[in-house]
C-alpha cells in the first residue's frame, strides 16, 4: 500500500540534502561554537553563515535574527518579553491564532494583568480590518498586535502591509506568527512595519527542534533564557550547530526553488478542489480556503456532508487506507477538543459534520489526489 501524506501544515518531509549536510556537520564540526580554538571557530562560522543567509533573504541585519528551538518558543519569547521589557499593557490578537499565541496571552493576562482584545473574524476566516483599526484607535495603553500571517488550519492570509501600517499609525508593536509562510512566501522586512516574525524549520523541509525569531533592532529586550552569552545574551545554551545548518540548507532550498515549488503546490490544490467538487456534491470549503487571493496555496480545509454519528469513523477510514491528513492542527488533534478555529467561523450544523485539513508540499503528486478523493467519495456514499 502506497502511503499518502497530506499533512504538511503539521510537519514536512525533510529534504535529503538537509540530512546530508547535517550528517556532515555532526561528523566534521563537533566543536563547541563558544570555544576559541579552531574546532569551536569552525562551528561558530557555520552558525553565523546561517544567520546571514536568513537575514539577507529578509533584507535585515544578521544581528536581528536569533535561533530558537521552534516556533512556539519564538512566540513565547516575543510575547513575554514585550510585556516584561517593553511595557506592553494590551495585546490585540484573534481567537483563531495558534495555541502558541493564545495560551501565552492567557498566561500573561493571569500573571501580568494585561488586557487582551480580540479582533473580529469574518465568516470567510479573514480579519476584520475595520474592527482592528477601531481597537487601535481607542487603545489608551501601549499595545502589541499579534496576528498570524497564514492560518495553520484554514489557510487564510493576513495582509501584513495593511496591519503594519495600522500599527505604525497608532504606535503599536506588531508580531506575526509566520511559521506557515516561511519558505513559501518572500518577505522584505525593511519595507514592512513589523517588529517580530518567527520561523520553524520542520515546516519547510528542515529538521525538528530548530527555529528562529526576527526582532527589530530598535527594540531592547532582556535575556529570555539566562545563562551564557549565546545568541548575544538573548537565549543561553550551547547552539545546535547541525540543526542550524539543516535549517539554513532547507531555507536556501526553499527560496532557490520558490516559484517552481509554489506553482506545483497551487496546481495540486486547484486539482483537488476541482475533483472533490465534482465527486462530492454538498462539499463545503471552510473559511476562504478555495479563494486563491485570500488563502494559502498549500492548505485546504473541507467540510463533508456526513452525519455526525459517522464523523468519528472518517479519520480511521482514511488512516487504514494509508492517507494522512488532519481534523485540526496537529497540536490539538490528539485532544478531545474541537478546532477553536472552526468554532469561530462555522455554523452549529456544520460544526457537527467532519472537517478535514489537507496541506500539500512539493513532494505530493497529482495521482495522490485521485486516490484521496476516491476514498472520500466512497466514505460519503456509504453514508
Which residues are the active-site residues?
A: 331
Query: Residues 82, 57: contact at Cβ < 8 Å?
Result: no
Number of CB atoms found within 10 A of residue 322's CB = 13
For residue 51, CA distances in Å to 68, 258, 318 come to: 12, 20, 41
By DSSP bridging, strand 90-93 and strand 143-146 are parallel
Q: Give 182's DSSP letter.
A: B
Query: Residues 210, 201: contact at Cβ < 8 Å?
Result: yes
Q: Element (H or E) spanning 57, and its range?
A: helix 38-58
Torsion sign over Cα 184, 158, 9, 22: positive
HEC readout, 354-375: CEEEEECCCCCCHHHHHHHHHH
Amino acid at each position: 500500500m502506497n502511503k499518502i501524506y497530506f499533512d504538511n501544515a503539521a510537519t514536512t518531509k525533510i529534504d535529503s540534502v538537509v540530512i546530508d549536510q547535517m550528517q556532515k556537520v555532526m561528523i566534521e564540526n563537533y566543536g563547541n561554537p563558544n570555544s576559541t580554538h579552531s574546532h569551536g571557530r569552525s562551528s561558530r562560522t557555520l552558525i553565523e553563515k546561517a544567520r546571514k543567509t536568513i537575514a539577507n533573504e529578509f533584507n535585515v541585519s544578521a544581528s536581528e535574527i536569533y535561533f530558537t528551538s521552534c516556533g512556539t518558543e519564538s512566540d513565547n519569547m516575543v510575547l513575554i518579553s514585550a510585556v516584561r521589557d517593553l511595557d506592553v499593557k494590551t495585546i490585540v490578537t484573534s481567537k483563531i491564532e495558534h495555541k502558541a499565541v493564545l495560551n501565552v496571552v492567557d498566561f500573561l493576562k493571569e500573571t501580568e494583568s494585561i488586557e487582551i482584545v480580540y479582533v473580529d473574524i469574518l465568516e470567510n476566516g479573514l480579519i476584520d480590518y475595520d474592527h482592528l483599526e477601531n481597537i487601535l484607535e481607542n487603545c489608551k495603553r501601549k499595545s502589541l498586535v499579534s496576528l498570524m500571517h497564514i492560518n495553520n488550519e484554514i489557510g487564510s492570509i493576513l495582509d501584513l502591509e495593511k496591519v503594519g501600517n495600522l500599527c505604525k499609525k497608532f504606535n503599536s508593536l506588531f508580531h506575526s506568527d509566520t511559521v506557515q509562510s516561511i519558505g513559501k512566501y518572500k518577505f522584505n522586512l525593511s519595507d514592512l512595519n513589523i517588529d517580530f516574525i518567527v520561523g520553524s524549520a520542520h515546516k519547510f523541509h528542515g529538521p525538528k527542534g530548530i527555529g528562529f525569531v526576527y526582532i527589530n533592532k530598535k527594540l531592547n529586550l532582556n535575556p529570555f533564557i539566562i545563562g551564557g552569552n549565546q545568541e548575544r545574551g538573548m537565549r543561553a545554551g550551547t547552539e545546535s550547530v547541525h540543526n542550524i545548518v539543516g535549517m539554513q540548507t532547507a531555507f536556501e532550498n526553499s527560496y532557490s526553488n520558490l516559484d517552481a515549488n509554489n506553482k506545483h503546490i497551487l496546481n495540486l490544490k486547484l486539482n483537488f478542489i476541482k475533483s472533490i467538487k465534482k465527486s462530492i456534491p454538498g462539499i463545503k470549503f471552510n473559511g476562504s480556503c478555495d479563494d486563491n487571493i485570500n488563502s494559502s496555496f498549500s492548505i485546504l480545509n473541507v467540510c463533508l456532508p456526513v452525519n455526525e454519528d459517522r464523523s468519528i469513523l472518517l479519520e480511521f477510514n482514511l488512516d487504514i487506507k494509508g492517507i494522512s491528513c488532519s481534523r485540526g492542527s496537529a497540536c490539538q488533534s490528539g485532544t478531545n477538543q474541537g478546532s477553536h478555529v472552526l468554532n469561530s467561523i462555522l455554523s452549529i450544523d456544520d460544526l457537527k459534520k467532519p472537517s478535514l485539513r489537507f496541506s500539500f508540499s512539493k513532494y505530493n503528486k497529482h495521482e495522490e489526489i485521485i486516490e484521496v478523493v476516491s476514498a472520500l467519495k466512497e466514505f460519503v456514499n456509504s453514508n
